[in-house]
Amino acid sequence: MTEDDSKSTERGSGIDPRLLEILICPVTRQPLSYDRAAGELVSRRAKLAFPIRGGIPIMLADEARDLADPETGA
């Protein structure tokens, strides 16, 4: 990783902002929004939140948190 790459990486998540611009929901194929506080990528249409672990977005529907599930507090 070059110095420029490390500067372009977001400090809290380790996610490159350019990567966030091109990622889409694997279920709906729609853009995602980034929830920095929760460390998740959110698909409002699919009502799923995809976790980010170690700076890597986990874009698997099986790993996503269901935002429509009342037990998750959403």
**Domain 3-72 class, CATH top level:** mainly beta
Give the 3-state secondary structure of residue 3. helix
Domain positions in the chain: 3-72
Give me the mean pLDDT over the 32-51 stretch: 94
Digit-coded pLDDT (tens) for 56-72: 999 999 999 999 876 65
Q: 15, exposed or middle or buried, with CB in 10 Å at 0-12, 13-18, 19+?
A: buried
Question: Considering the entire predicted model, what is its pTM?
Answer: 0.74
